[in-house]
């Protein structure tokens, strides 16, 4: 009986505890003008994390008396719950949010995000950001990117490039390629020595990004706009797409990328390159910091050999929720992140800043990373990513890449993608 009574006491205690919980969870509401609630999902040691931490400090010193409540979120949490959070009174004042039609575009259409256009022109952010990078920050009334209203302000950009392991190139006596033909002969040389030239991951973005790049080699700007921004009807079985898919299938057959990489994750492929197993990796600037930190060999980066168009875009950006109680503070904070100081910190941390001072970047590799990007942005060479135009297209593209690697006919794969594209693209 004593035991039973103790159990009952425990039970009662827990029950009361759970009931008092609601009291702790309440919000204090009307702290307008006194508090900036800020969310982002970059890890503290990444380029963005470092730069933004500095920006928070600077904000505190320029805004004495304002409390900054920063919460680090997970990418997935924001991706899954942003719509619900922004539709409640618990929305933060400024947050990092994902670019794209299905994310920022959708929420802007639903009226959950503040139109930043007046602030952008007032504070001159539009002059700092290259037009090619602006595309992902501006949306039209239908929520399609490339519109006329600013809903996001990107601090950084990202693009794909080739990472070269210089030690392996030297060891096998191969010259680092600067044109597409040189790339092919370099790959032949490596295959001749029994080395697989490119690391690859079939079950994530890497494989289909090869396909898109190989198609871009045969394409032009209107082609990209048709596919990404629905300016004209996109034909996924046209000459450029066919060339891209066929060439990639060919590459697999010739052993330029390993056939057994069909089931690998990007993480595996990246780690394999960083551990020195492959001479080349074609992937995003998001790997730069990690390669710089962990690679034990000589390396360099360059855009895809001979490319006029390559994969890349503005990065994820700051958005201000409609429900924010402190919009002015939010704008002030964004302004600090756009200043040279924060931008240079971002660049020195291995990110691609949108408005840095090239002379302030100390690391030679980071300098090249940024100047390569600036050249691409200036020549209107950013072609975004193949999975953007249609919601849920990423998984379709991964499957398509795997099919190509497994020997399905390119025409058949592209035909399937065309169906998915037509089904998902806005009419």
Name the residues that contact another protein, by CB under 8 A.
Answer: 4, 10-11, 14-15, 17-19, 21-22, 24-27, 41-44, 71-77, 80-81, 84-85, 88, 90, 98, 205, 266-267, 270-271, 274-275, 284, 286-287, 290, 293-296, 316
Q: Is the dihedral of CA 323, 391, 147, 311 positive or negative?
A: positive
Query: What is the b/e burial string over 182-221, where b = at least 16 CB atoms within 10 angstroms of the residue's CB?
Result: ebbebbebbeeeebbbbbbbbbbbbbbbbbbbbbbbbbee
CB of 9 to another protein, least distance (A): 11
Shorter beta-carbon distance to another protein: residue 146 or 315: 315
Shorter beta-carbon distance to another protein: residue 51 or 266: 266
Q: Are 142 and 126 in contact (CB under 8 A)?
A: no
CB of 289 to another protein, least distance (A): 9
CB of 189 to another protein, least distance (A): 26
Shorter beta-carbon distance to another protein: residue 155 or 247: 155
Shorter beta-carbon distance to another protein: residue 312 or 410: 312
Q: Could you give the CA distance from residue 318 to residue 402 in angstroms, rounded to a whole number?
A: 35
Shorter beta-carbon distance to another protein: residue 48 or 413: 48
Residue 335: phi and psi, rounded to 5, are -60, -40
CB of 99 to another protein, least distance (A): 11
DSSP 425: S
CB of 204 to another protein, least distance (A): 9
CB of 185 to another protein, least distance (A): 30
DSSP 175: P
Alpha-carbon 206 to chain mean position: 13
Q: Could you give the CA distance from residue 284 to residue 204 in angstroms, rounded to a whole number?
A: 13
Q: Could you give the CA distance from residue 297 to residue 38 in angstroms, rounded to a whole number?
A: 39
Non-local CB neighbours of 299 within 8 Å, separated by 6+ positions: 163, 164, 165, 166, 291
Shorter beta-carbon distance to another protein: residue 109 or 265: 265
**Element spanning 22, H or E:** helix 2-25
Longest CA–CA separation in the chain, Å? 86
Shorter beta-carbon distance to another protein: residue 46 or 144: 46
Q: Could you give the CA distance from residue 290 to residue 309 in angstroms, rounded to a whole number?
A: 25
Shorter beta-carbon distance to another protein: residue 147 or 314: 314
Shorter beta-carbon distance to another protein: residue 35 or 225: 35
**Element spanning 190, H or E:** helix 180-192
Tell me the CA distances in angstroms from 318 to 33, 49, 118, 228, one per residue in order: 19, 13, 15, 22
């Amino acid at each position: 009986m004593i035991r039973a009574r103790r159990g009952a006491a425990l039970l009662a205690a827990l029950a009361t505890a759970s009931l008092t919980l609601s009291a702790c969870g309440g919000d204090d509401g009307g702290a307008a003008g006194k508090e900036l609630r800020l969310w982002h999902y970059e890890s503290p040691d990444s380029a963005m994390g470092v730069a933004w931490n500095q920006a928070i400090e600077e904000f505190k010193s320029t805004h004495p008396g304002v409390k900054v409540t920063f919460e680090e979120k997970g990418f997935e949490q924001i991706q899954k719950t942003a719509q619900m959070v922004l539709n409640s009174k618990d929305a933060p004042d400024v947050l990092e949010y994902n670019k794209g039609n299905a994310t920022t575009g959708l929420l802007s259409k639903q009226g959950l995000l503040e139109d930043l256009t007046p602030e952008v022109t007032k504070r001159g952010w539009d002059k700092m950001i290259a037009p090619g990078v602006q595309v992902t920050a501006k949306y039209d009334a239908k929520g399609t990117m490339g519109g006329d209203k600013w809903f996001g302000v990107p601090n950084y950009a990202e693009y794909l490039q080739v990472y070269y392991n210089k030690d392996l190139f030297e060891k096998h006596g191969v010259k680092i390629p600067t044109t597409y033909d040189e790339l092919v002969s370099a790959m032949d040389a490596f295959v001749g020595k029994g080395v697989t030239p490119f690391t690859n991951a079939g079950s994530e973005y890497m494989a289909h990004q090869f396909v898109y790049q190989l198609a871009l080699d045969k394409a032009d700007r209107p082609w990209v706009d048709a596919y990404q921004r629905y300016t004209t009807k996109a034909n996924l079985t046209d000459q450029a797409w066919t060339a891209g898919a066929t060439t990639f299938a060919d590459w697999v057959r010739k052993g330029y990328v390993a056939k057994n990489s069909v089931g690998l994750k990007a993480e595996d492929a990246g780690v394999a390159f960083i551990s020195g197993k492959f001479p080349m990796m074609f992937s995003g600037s998001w790997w730069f910091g990690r390669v710089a930190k962990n690679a034990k060999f000589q390396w360099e980066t360059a855009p895809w050999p001979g490319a006029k168009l390559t994969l890349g875009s503005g990065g994820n950006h700051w958005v201000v929720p409609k429900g924010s109680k402190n919009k002015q503070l939010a704008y002030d904070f964004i302004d600090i992140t756009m200043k040279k100081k924060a931008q240079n910190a971002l660049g020195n941390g291995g990110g691609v800043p949108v408005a840095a001072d090239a002379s302030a970047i100390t690391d030679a590799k980071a300098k090249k990373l940024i100047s390569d990007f600036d050249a691409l942005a200036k020549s209107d060479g950013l072609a975004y990513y193949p999975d953007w135009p249609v919601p849920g297209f990423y998984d379709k593209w991964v499957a398509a890449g795997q099919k190509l690697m497994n020997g399905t006919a390119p025409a058949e794969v592209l035909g399937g993608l065309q169906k998915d594209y037509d089904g998902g693209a806005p009419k």
